[in-house]
Amino acid sequence: MREIRRVCRPGGTVLVVNHFLSENFLLAAAERVLTPASQWIGFRMDLPVRIALEVPGLTPRAMERVNLFGLWRLLTLHRD
C-alpha cells in the first residue's frame, strides 16, 4: 500500500477491490483456517481492512461491499 501511495499523484484516487477479514467472529475464524489454501491463488482471506485504510497519505473516501455475497470490498482512497 505504501508503494501504491508513492506512485499515485497528489490528489489522485486509488481503488482497491479485495477480500478482507470479516468482522464476524465465526466467519473470521473460518477465514483464518482457510487462508493457507487461498494463498496459492494469490490472496489472503485473513487480511484486515485496516491494512488498506491506515496508510499515511491515503484518506479513505468510501467503502462498499461488492460481488454476489458482499464478501469483497471496493475501497476508494484519496492521495493527500
Question: Strand 72-79 relative to strand 13-19: parallel, antiparallel, unpaired?
Answer: antiparallel
Per residue in 13-41, pLDDT (tens digit) is 999 999 999 989 999 999 999 999 888 88
Confidence (pTM): 0.85
Number of CB atoms found within 10 A of residue 40's CB: 7
Give the residue with greater pLDDT, 54 vs 69. 54
Q: What is the pLDDT of residue 32?
A: 93
Q: What is the pLDDT of residue 64?
A: 96
Write out the E strands in 8-68.
13-19, 58-66
